[in-house]
Amino acid sequence: MGFFSCFRSFVIPALVASAAGLFLVCSVAAQPAPRPAGGDPPAFFPYGAMHMSTISHWQHYLPPIDEWAAYMDKDLARMKEVGFNTLAAHVDWYDIEVAPGEYDFRRLDKLMELVEKHGLKVLLWPWPELQPEWVAKVHANSQWEAADGYKPGPACWDHPEVRTAIERFVTRVVERYRDRPSVLAWDLGAEAGIWVTSLGPVDKPWDARLYCYCPHTVARYREWLQRKYGTIQKLNEVWATYHRDWQDVEPVRVGSFERAQIFWQDWRQFMLWNTADFQRIKADAARKADPHHPITCHFGGWGWSYLYACTDEYQMGRHFDVLGLSFFPFWLERSFGKYEPLYGAMMFDGLKSAAGDNPMWIEELQGGPSIYGLNYRSRNPTPADIRLWNWQAVAHGISGIFYWNWRPETTGIEASGFGLVNYDGSLTDRARAAGQVCADFQKHAARLLESRPVQAQVAILHDPRAFLQAAGEQNSGLYTNSVRGAYRAFYRANIPVDFITPEHILSGDLGRYKVVYLPFAYMLTREEGAKLAEFVRQGGWLAGALWCGLKDERTFVYETVPGAGLDEVFHCREMEVNPHAGGALKLVEEFVSLPAGAELPVHRYQEKLQVLEGGRVVAKFADGSPGLITGEYGRGRTLYVGTLLFHHYDSSHAPHIGRLLTGFARAAGVREAVRIDYQPPEAWLEARVLEGRDGRRLLIAMNHGTGVATMKARLDGQPAVSDLLTGQQLPAAADDGGTTIELNLPALDVRVLSIEPAGR
Residues 387-400 have pLDDT tens digits of: 999 999 999 999 99
Q: What is the mean pLDDT of residues 659-687?
A: 93
The reported pLDDT for the residue numbered 256 is 79
Where are the alpha helices (H) located in 633-730, listed in sequence order? 645-652, 655-667
Please calculate the CA angle 298-687-749 and round it to the nearest 5 degrees. Answer: 90
CA 754/CA 760 separation, integer angstroms: 12
Q: What is the mean pLDDT of residues 548-573?
A: 98
- Contact between 510 and 538 (Cβ < 8 Å): no
Average pLDDT, the chain: 92
pLDDT at 337: 86
- The pLDDT assigned to 39 comes to 56
- What average pLDDT score do residues 98-114 get? 97
C-alpha distances in angstroms, 152 versus 143, 210, 339? Answer: 8, 12, 33
Q: Which residues contact 182 (CB under 8 A, 6 or more apart)?
A: 21, 23, 112, 115, 116, 120, 121, 122
When mean pLDDT is compared across 112-121, 164-173, 189-198, 349-358, the lowest value belongs to 189-198
Reply yes or no on whether the pLDDT at 470 is more than 80. yes
C-alpha dihedral sign at 62, 67, 68, 71: negative
Kindly tell me if the per-residue pLDDT of 21 is higher than 60.
no
Average pLDDT over residues 431-451: 98
pLDDT, tens digit (0-9, with 9 covering 90-100), for 717-746: 899 999 999 999 999 898 877 899 999 999
Closest CA to 632 of 561, 588, 545, 571: 571
pLDDT score, position 205: 74
C-alpha span between 460 and 201 (Å, rounded): 40
C-alpha torsion sign, points 143, 146, 149, 152? negative
The three-class DSSP label of residue 640 is strand
> Which residues neighbour 475 within 8 Å (Cβ) at sequence distance 6 or greater?
none
Of all residues in the chain, the percent with pLDDT exceeding 70 is 94
Reported as a single tens digit per residue, the pLDDT across 230-260 is 999 999 999 999 999 999 999 999 887 888 8
pTM of structure:
0.94
Show the beta-strand stretches assigned E in 616-759: 616-620, 626-633, 636-641, 675-679, 685-691, 697-703, 709-715, 720-723, 733-735, 738-745, 750-756
pLDDT of 207 reads: 80
| CA-wise closest residue to 401 among 430, 450, 441 | 441
Q: Tell which residue, 386, 327, 397, 319, has the closest CA to residue 362.
A: 327
Q: Read off the pLDDT of each residue in 658-681 and give the average, rounded to a whole number.
A: 93
- Which helix (H) or strand (E) element contains residue 16? strand 16-17
Angle between helices 429-443 and 383-395 in degrees, nearest 10: 30
Q: Is pLDDT above 70 for 697?
A: yes
- Centre a 10 Å sphere on the Cβ of residue 42 and count the other Cβ atoms it contains: 13
Per-residue pLDDT tens digits for 48-68: 999 988 877 666 567 889 999
Lowest mean pLDDT among 216-225, 611-620, 733-742: 733-742
Which stretches within 356-460 are classed as H helix?
A: 383-395, 429-443, 445-450
What pLDDT score does 58 carry? Answer: 62
The answer to whether residue 701 scores a pLDDT higher than 90 is yes
Query: How many Å separate Cα 303 from the centre of its chain?
Result: 7
What pLDDT, on a 0 to 100 scale, did the predictor assign at position 760? Answer: 66
pLDDT at 16 over 90: no
Chain mean position to CA 59:
29
pLDDT for 201 equals 85
Measure the CA–CA gap between 701 and 487, rounded to whole angstroms: 19
Residue 521 makes CB contacts below 8 A (sequence gap 6+) with 461, 463, 466, 544, 547, 548, 549
- What is the DSSP pairing of strand 636-641 with strand 675-679? unpaired
- Altogether, the residues listed in the chain come to a count of 760
